Structure 1
Amino acid sequence: MARDPLLRLDAVSKIFDTGTVGLENVDLDIGHGEFVSLLGPSGCGKTTSLRLMAGFEMPTSGRVLLDGQDITALRPYDRPVNTVFQDYALFPHMDVAENVGFGLSLRKLSGADIKRRVTEALELVGLADKIHARVSMLSGGQRQRVALARALVCSPRVLLLDEPLSALDANLREQMQIELKRLQARLGTTFVMVTHDQTEALSISDRIVVMNRGRIEQIATPAELYDAPATRFVANFIGTMNLLEGKVLEATAQTHRIAAGPMTFDIAPCDPGRAPAAGAPALVCIRPEEITVFPAPSDGALPAQVVSTVFYGPMLRVFAEIGGGQKLMIDTPRRTAAAAFEPGALIYVRPNAGCGRMLEP
């Protein structure tokens, strides 16, 4: 029997005093022990959702449930939920131990209990040797670990993370992504993270909630989001995508044949129960790495003219134009490239068999 969700937003809407709609009738279930990321551009509603879970905002309508109990009216410090803020919100006049133990001190625990739990929390994040250090002497990554330890030391049911890695440089950010996932897997605590960084969300989440204009566009695993975006917004927002306007040539229960400019795609139906009519408009999305380049004519390959290239280390991104002014982005391995990619050069391109996805236009 499937377990009931740990955290639920039930038909939640939030309209601010200015009239701005922060959330519009959002339903979201988050399971026990999940790592869920709320992903989207600025103003999409992800931070509002997090603040509603934490109790810093009250919904205009709808409920917030934890383990089936309505916690909508509970104050933040009455919820078994802790938050790691974007700026860490550490107390500069306290040392590491005092920062981590601050929440415990409000619970009137004994000094021995506080010391034991603070030590355990700092060992968990690899900072046991910094227990008496001043926070002003720590690096950005170390301060982030202190903030994590402070949030975890009170054993929350849910840990909320508000863009916790945004202040770190690229290398440290990547290291901390690995550490966050390791920590969450070890503890089994439910993590909910707000981020606008799709690479971050894809690398460490069990599921991703893609949000746009106060609504949820899609909830899926990273692989499902990448391989099968449900909407044009998701296709554009997750990774890099070619979006090609076309029309349906024929449609069966097994496959849809779609023409997009001079290219033809045989695509598995997104909705097996509904076949579009021949001639209906269609939108084909295909990833740049799903297009193969040939230096000379090849069976099924179309001629394309190189417009420009961008260097991405092991990959080259080739911008090319095929018949009818159709533009393509193509990612190809740089060291095994089968063609020259000078602007104006002629290459031949073919989508890989079975690749591509049809969306409603």
Structure 2
Amino acid sequence: MAPDPLVRLEAVSKVFPGGIVGLDAVDLDIISGEFITLLGPSGCGKTTSLRVIAGFESPSSGKVLLDGRDITALRPFDRPVNTVFQDYALFPHMNVAENVGFGLSLRKLTSAEQAKRVGEALDMVGLGDKLRARVLELSGGQRQRVALARAIVCEPRVLLLDEPLSALDAHLREQMQIELKRLQSRLGTTFVMVTHDQTEALSISDRIVVMNKGRIEQIAPPATLYDRPATKFVASFIGTMNLLQSRFLGRDGERLRFAAGDLPLEATSDNGETPAAGDTRTIGVRPEDLLAAAEAADGTAPARVSGVVFHGRTLRLHAQIGQGTSVVIDAPRQAEGFQFNVGDVAHISLRRGANCPMLSA
């Protein structure tokens, strides 16, 4: 039995002036203590969802519930929710301790209690020695930690993070991803993050909500999204995936046999559908699930290499099969002594046991 949600959006829609639809009847349950990420391209509705939860936007219709209580009409500062903004929103004229303690200054706490909680919050983010530092003296990563400390010091039920790492360089961003997950695990607070960076979402989320055009396409843990995307949009947005129009040949136990041109494929169907013989479906195949060899063999199809991209221990081959169908293959560098170059013919096959989903529209 699924636990009761901490936050629930019930048929939430948001229509902006001019008839622009930001959210279209979104239903979403967020479980207490989880790290959930809203992921999707610009304009998909992820930031609007976050702002509706925070109270910065009022839905055109639908409800926002917290612990079963309708908070749709509550003002932002009346909700047990804090937000970490993309630009940190720190006060430059205040030092670190004053920034972190600003929210506490509005509460009925003694100065000693405020100082204690500020110190604990800064210790949690590794900035216990920066109490008196000026904001402008800090690095980008340190400013982000101050913003996090300011958000957690008030002990919110839900912490909302709006593209919190987008201003950081790649190396620091990866470090902060680890820190975010560590902090969330330590606090047990519900984190709701918005990002357009799929790698970031896959790295630290318990569940990911993939959004597109104001709707939810799929909600699932990272591994499920990667291995079993439910729609073509999710398959194309999460990682790299070949979307191959394939002809159904028949069923072999739980496996469905297809052919994309001359390339034999096996697929799975989460909804139990079995197509009619000869029907076509879109099969998703990850580049790492395609093997490339120098010589033809049973179960292989020829692919003309049109591009080679160096990816460290692998080469990403861009190739064409059949009547010009494009495929991407990740091949180990110099596997079996064979180095692929533009113009070569690679004989490709599906890796045994590969999980290739049959995708819906």
**Paired position in structure 2 for 1:285:** 284
Tell me the TM-score normalised to structure 1 length.
0.97
8 Å contact 1:226–1:238 — kept in the other structure?
Answer: yes
Matched residue type, 1:250: G
**Paired position in structure 1 for 2:77:** 77
State the alpha-carbon separation in 1 of the partners of residues 255 and 160 from structure 2.
Answer: 42
Q: Which digits, 9 at most, give the CA deviation of each residue in 1:63-102, with x for residues without a partner?
A: 0000111110110000000000000000000000000000
Matched, 1:193 2:185: no
8 Å contact 1:294–1:338 — kept in the other structure?
Answer: no
The Cα shift of 1:310 comes to: 0.7
**Paired position in structure 1 for 2:95:** 95
State the alpha-carbon separation in 2 of the partners of residues 343 and 215 from structure 1.
Answer: 41
**Paired position in structure 1 for 2:239:** 239
State the alpha-carbon separation in 2 of the partners of residues 70 and 263 from structure 1.
Answer: 54
Return closer, same or farther for 1:33/1:310 CA change in 2, 3 Å cut-off. Answer: same
**Paired position in structure 2 for 1:11:** 11
State the alpha-carbon separation in 2 of the partners of residues 278 and 338 from structure 1.
Answer: 40
8 Å contact 2:44–2:214 — kept in the other structure?
Answer: yes
State the alpha-carbon separation in 1 of the partners of residues 4 and 270 from structure 2.
Answer: 28
**Paired position in structure 2 for 1:328:** 327
Q: Which digits, 9 at most, give the CA deviation of each residue in 1:229-285, with x for residues without a partner?
A: 10000011000011111222224772322121111212222212x322122220011
Matched residue type, 1:283: T
Return closer, same or farther for 1:15/1:253 CA change in 2, 3 Å cut-off. Answer: farther
State the alpha-carbon separation in 2 of the partners of residues 265 and 335 from structure 1.
Answer: 25
Does the residue aligned with 1:353 lie in a helix, a strand or coil? coil
**Paired position in structure 2 for 1:256:** 256
8 Å contact 2:7–2:65 — kept in the other structure?
Answer: yes
State the alpha-carbon separation in 1 of the partners of residues 237 and 58 from structure 2.
Answer: 29
8 Å contact 2:264–2:349 — kept in the other structure?
Answer: no
State the alpha-carbon separation in 1 of the partners of residues 313 and 27 from structure 2.
Answer: 41
Q: Which digits, 9 at most, give the CA deviation of each residue in 1:140-164, with x for residues without a partner?
A: 0000000000000000000000000
Matched residue type, 2:341: E
State the alpha-carbon separation in 2 of the partners of residues 246 and 267 from structure 1.
Answer: 10
Matched residue type, 2:268: A
| Larger mean Cα displacement after TM superposition, 255-264 or 70-79 | 255-264
8 Å contact 1:339–1:347 — kept in the other structure?
Answer: no
Runs of 5+ consecutive residues of structure 2 not aligned to the other structure = none
**Paired position in structure 1 for 2:165:** 165
Does the residue aligned with 2:183 lie in a helix, a strand or coil? helix
State the alpha-carbon separation in 1 of the partners of residues 120 and 335 from structure 2.
Answer: 50
Does the residue aligned with 2:102 lie in a helix, a strand or coil? helix
State the alpha-carbon separation in 2 of the partners of residues 267 and 2 from structure 1.
Answer: 30
Does the residue aligned with 1:130 lie in a helix, a strand or coil? coil
The Cα shift of 1:212 comes to: 0.2
State the alpha-carbon separation in 2 of the partners of residues 277 and 313 from structure 1.
Answer: 42
State the alpha-carbon separation in 1 of the partners of residues 202 and 334 from structure 2.
Answer: 27
8 Å contact 2:264–2:299 — kept in the other structure?
Answer: no
8 Å contact 2:333–2:339 — kept in the other structure?
Answer: no
8 Å contact 1:252–1:275 — kept in the other structure?
Answer: no
* Total equivalences in the alignment: 360
Matched, 1:301 2:330: no
Aligned identity (percent) is 65
The Cα shift of 1:108 comes to: 2.9
Matched, 1:24 2:24: yes
Matched residue type, 1:110: T
Q: Which digits, 9 at most, give the CA deviation of each residue in 1:147-204, with x for residues without a partner?
A: 0000000000000000000000000000000000000011110000000000000000
State the alpha-carbon separation in 1 of the partners of residues 316 and 37 from structure 2.
Answer: 28
8 Å contact 2:9–2:65 — kept in the other structure?
Answer: yes
Does the residue aligned with 2:42 lie in a helix, a strand or coil? coil
Does the residue aligned with 2:91 lie in a helix, a strand or coil? coil
**Paired position in structure 2 for 1:183:** 183
**Paired position in structure 2 for 1:346:** 345
**Paired position in structure 2 for 1:217:** 217
State the alpha-carbon separation in 2 of the partners of residues 251 and 12 from structure 1.
Answer: 41
| Larger mean Cα displacement after TM superposition, 176-185 or 277-286 | 277-286
8 Å contact 1:295–1:338 — kept in the other structure?
Answer: no
State the alpha-carbon separation in 1 of the partners of residues 232 and 139 from structure 2.
Answer: 41
Does the residue aligned with 2:258 lie in a helix, a strand or coil? strand
State the alpha-carbon separation in 2 of the partners of residues 63 and 172 from structure 1.
Answer: 38
Return closer, same or farther for 1:153/1:76 CA change in 2, 3 Å cut-off. Answer: same
State the alpha-carbon separation in 1 of the partners of residues 289 and 332 from structure 2.
Answer: 12
**Paired position in structure 2 for 1:147:** 147
State the alpha-carbon separation in 1 of the partners of residues 37 and 118 from structure 2.
Answer: 27
Q: Which digits, 9 at most, give the CA deviation of each residue in 1:9-28, with x for residues without a partner?
A: 01100001221100000000
State the alpha-carbon separation in 2 of the partners of residues 229 and 245 from structure 1.
Answer: 16
Q: Which digits, 9 at most, give the CA deviation of each residue in 1:311-358, with x for residues without a partner?
A: 122221011122222221001222546522111112211111232221
